[in-house]
Amino acid sequence: MSQFFQQLVNGLTLGSLYALIAVGYTVVYGIVQLINFAHGEVFMIGAFGALSVYLLFFDGQTGVWILPLMIIGAMLCSVGVAVLMERFAYRPLRNAPRLAPLITAIGVSVFLQEFVRLFYDKIPTFPSAKQNIPFPQIDVVTGKALEVGGVTIQRAAIFTVAALIVCAALLWYFVNRTKSGRAMLAVSQDPDTSRLMGINVDRIIVVAFVLGAVLAAVAGISQGLQNANIDFRMGFIAGLKAFTAAVLGGIGNIQGAVVGGLVLGIAESMAIQYIPGQFGGSSWKDVWAFVILILVLVFRPQGLLGARVVDRA
């Protein structure tokens, strides 16, 4: 029984990470109907931004007070990249056929990966981005694991789950209780009518990209703390998993993205433990994650909680 609960805890941790990224996917998709495949790289850049702040200002220190400053640095980097991406890569294609921004998103993803790899290789005082880079371990949120009833809980896992709860609550409040949030809901329903009602649609779309980038930055730090290392390729698979989680929960549905991420993480963890023979083990976890995506698209394309997107075709 303790083994089951151990896998459940591992799955919730992994699912929380997927959910943080998936909510960012969902916020952007709900506004502009864009599957932003470069969102995984925004997540990766957040992790590198946090690492850069640490190496530039706090190298060798481990105080917990450093973490908020790393989070701010990660958010600034992710938000800056997301805003530039929206302005120069996606906005000119807003009225183009849907295939054009999709291909652009793939191109932006590859560009950002290579940019980070080459940029960090040019800085002699920084570790090479061609290999895994050690991520700083911070007091309180990392360190000796906790033992609860025979279940091992990593401190970084607690940070990840707590980050998801806080971010999801703040996002819910923003969307449902603020003027900009209600404007986002209006634009997601009908951007043309929203513009006639005096809403600055371009600004609202930028706000959506900013929110998604903030969540991705927090997820990037969470993964760095959990794995104790990062690399320039980390955003590709994580982004695909987050997209899978968004589809699983219901594309365009923020609550669905959270549920989809948690379900996907638990399913992966349980598959690693309980699928016997050569099809089990950690090497097959990505296979089973995308099997889930295929099954959802075939049998319930609207997702577990249903899509909340208006068809504007």
The answer to the question of residue 282 being in a domain is: no
The answer to the question of residue 106 being in a domain is: yes
Contact between residue 187 and residue 209 where contact means Cβ atoms under 8 Å apart: no
The pair phi, psi for residue 166, each rounded to 5°, is -65, -45
What number of other Cβ atoms are within 10 A of residue 140's Cβ? Answer: 13
pLDDT of residue 179: 93
pLDDT of residue 277: 66
Angle at CA of residue 223, ends 218 and 224, nearest 5°? 95
Q: Which two tokens stand for residue 71?
A: 């989070």
Residue 281 DSSP symbol: S
If one counts the domains in the chain, the total is 1
Beta-strand ranges (E) seen in 156-244 are 229-230
CA–CA separation, 7 vs 89, rounded Å? 41
The answer to the question of residue 191 being in a domain is: yes
Alpha carbon 115 to its chain's center:
20
pLDDT in 10s for each residue of the chain, 313 residues = 678 888 899 999 999 999 999 998 899 998 888 889 999 999 999 999 999 999 999 988 989 999 999 999 999 999 999 999 999 999 999 888 888 999 999 999 999 999 998 888 877 767 766 678 899 989 999 988 888 878 899 999 999 999 999 999 999 999 999 999 999 999 988 899 999 999 999 999 999 999 999 999 999 999 999 999 999 999 998 999 999 999 899 888 889 999 999 999 999 888 888 887 677 777 788 888 888 888 888 888 888 887 665 545 4
The answer to the question of residue 62 being in a domain is: yes
Q: Domain of residue 15: give its range.
A: 2-236
The answer to the question of residue 163 being in a domain is: yes
Sign of CA dihedral 202, 205, 211, 217: negative
The pLDDT tens digits of the residues spanning 23-43 come to 988 999 988 888 899 999 999
C-alpha dist (Å) from residue 54 to 58, 65, 122, 124, 191: 5, 12, 18, 16, 41
From its phi and psi, is residue 148 left (phi > 0), alpha (psi between -120 and 50) or beta? beta
Residue written as token pair 């709860």:
165
**Which residues sit opposite 147 in a β-bridge?**
152
Report the percent of the chain where pLDDT is more than 90: 57
Angle at CA of residue 185, ends 215 and 313, nearest 5°? 105
Q: Which amino acid is at 286?
A: D
Q: At what angle do helices 234-249 and 2-32 cross, to 10 degrees?
A: 80
Angle at CA of residue 78, ends 76 and 83, nearest 5°? 95
Residues written for the chain: 313
The answer to the question of residue 49 being in a domain is: yes
H or E stretch covering 146: strand 146-148
The answer to the question of residue 155 being in a domain is: yes
Angle at CA of residue 156, ends 118 and 126, nearest 5°? 25
